[in-house]
């Protein structure tokens, strides 16, 4: 790829070498598993991934899961490309992306950005209904799904410093300079939320509207927003039930689920020796996240879906995805992740709130940093909305991006 001219896309098909597949099988056959303590119930995940679940998935991975069939389906479902771009402040970087165009003349370019431990495959259930809706009068989209470098087939950065701020620059180059979309809209969850927020801040002339199903931010300073702080102090009386649940979700995440964040944002490479060499280690690490962050009362990931998501990080040796946390929190500058948490941006914004999402704060917190024009609450769904309840997310994207607000923004 490095020999190709910049900004010239090359068609790509996903392929994992036989040697890695053979090695994976050998490692799975040699795996050791921890023992559950006798007083921990079958449905108690408080100590992490359940041994019986990981054992069952590992057995299927070794003796039943057909990666080659899955690989063929992915290549049939996604038009994939790689392209080298030159990023200001960093240098050359190869990007992987999927690009599905619509035949409808009013289609809007939409860039969908995923997070960890996901990959571009998070768009798998929504890309067709977005590009080819059943009714010609329904808003359609040209859907672009770039991989964060180091996630799935995305080439990992060769040097340090590549976090959300630079990812935003890279994806702007992809959209504007490579694909020629001068105005477009964005959808982001997890890291995708932070990347697309940075895109909106850096390039508001190109990013004309945004949508999020994940929006981390804190309350504004009390001296700037005393009414918001008063509402927080009296939250038990003044917050809606959904807002109270959101606070509980955030508190539970910080108390019980945030350990991975500290490890991956400080010493990811040390963790990578284990997760990048042991398929069981990586499987256990990710399965626990899927269980804890999804609305498991309403959606259960099929075994093939679990293993395919794991393969997207196993193929890279896991470490690049872990390292992204380190790079993100080390960023400095006007559009770094720490700045995007607290800085207001005026690009019209829509929000979808799924009840098991752990980062969707009360509406007056979000309104302090975003120009929120659309907000919809759902009664099911969690962190992986495009996977768990794709039809709800698709409808929200259609409704928000076909609104008069967005139409005017795309024209102005």
Exposed/middle/buried for residue 45 (C-beta within 10 Å: 0-12, 13-18, 19+) = middle
Structure tokens at 202: 């850096």
Distant-in-sequence, close-in-space partners of 284: CB < 8 Å, separation ≥ 6: 48, 49, 54
Pairwise CA distance, residues 350 & 214, whole Å: 11
CA dihedral 316, 7, 166, 80 (to 10 degrees): -40
Answer positive or negative: Cα dihedral of 15, 17, 20, 22: positive
Residues paired with 400 in a beta bridge = none
Q: Which long-range contacts (CB under 8 A, 24 or more apart) does 391-395 make?
A: 391/129, 392/352, 392/354, 393/126, 393/213, 393/352, 394/126, 394/129, 394/130
Q: Which of 203, 14, 235, 204 is nearest to 120 (CA)?
A: 14
CA 46 to chain centre: 24
Q: Is 346 exposed, middle or buried (0-12, 13-18, 19+ CB in 10 A)?
A: exposed
Which sequence positions are flagged as catalytic?
Answer: 190, 325, 383
Q: CA–CA separation, 213 vs 324, rounded Å?
A: 21
Q: Are 309 and 119 in contact (CB under 8 A)?
A: yes
């Amino acid at each position: 790829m490095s020999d190709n001219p910049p900004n010239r896309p090359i068609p790509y098909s996903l392929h994992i070498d036989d040697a890695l597949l053979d090695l994976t099988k050998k490692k799975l056959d040699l795996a050791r598993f921890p023992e559950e303590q006798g007083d921990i119930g079958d449905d108690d995940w408080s100590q992490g991934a359940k041994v019986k679940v990981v054992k069952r998935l590992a057995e299927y991975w070794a003796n039943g899961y057909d990666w080659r069939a899955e690989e063929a389906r992915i290549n049939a479902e996604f038009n994939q490309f790689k392209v080298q771009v030159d990023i200001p402040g960093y240098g050359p970087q190869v990007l992987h992306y999927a690009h599905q165009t619509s035949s409808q003349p009013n289609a809007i370019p939409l860039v969908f950005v995923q997070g960890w431990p996901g990959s571009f495959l998070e768009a798998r259930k929504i890309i067709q209904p977005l590009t080819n809706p059943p009714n010609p009068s329904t808003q359609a989209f040209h859907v672009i799904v770039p991989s964060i470098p180091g996630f799935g087939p995305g080439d990992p950065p060769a040097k340090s410093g590549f976090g959300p701020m630079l990812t935003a620059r890279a994806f702007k180059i992809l959209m504007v300079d490579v694909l020629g979309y001068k105005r477009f809209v964005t959808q982001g969850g997890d890291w995708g939320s932070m990347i697309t927020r940075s895109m909106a801040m850096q390039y508001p002339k190109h990013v004309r509207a945004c949508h999020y199903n994940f929006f981390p931010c804190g309350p504004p300073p009390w001296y700037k927003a005393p009414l918001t702080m008063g509402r927080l102090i009296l939250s038990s009386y003044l917050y809606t039930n959904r807002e109270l649940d959101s606070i509980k979700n955030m508190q539970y995440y910080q108390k019980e689920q945030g350990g991975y964040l500290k490890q991956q944002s400080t010493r990811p490479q040390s963790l990578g020796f284990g997760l990048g060499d042991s398929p069981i280690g990586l499987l256990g690490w990710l399965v626990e996240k899927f269980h804890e962050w999804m609305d498991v009362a309403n959606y259960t990931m099929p075994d093939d879906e679990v293993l395919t998501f794991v393969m997207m990080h196993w193929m890279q040796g896991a470490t690049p995805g872990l390292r992204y946390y380190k790079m993100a929190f080390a960023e400095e500058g006007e559009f770094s992740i720490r700045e995007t948490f607290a800085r207001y941006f005026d690009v019209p914004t829509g929000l979808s709130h799924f009840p098991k999402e752990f980062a969707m704060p009360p509406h007056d917190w979000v309104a302090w940093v975003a120009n929120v024009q659309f907000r919809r609450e759902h009664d099911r769904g969690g962190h992986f909305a495009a996977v768990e309840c794709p039809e709800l997310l698709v409808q929200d994207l259609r409704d928000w991006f076909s609104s008069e607000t967005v139409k005017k923004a795309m024209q102005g």
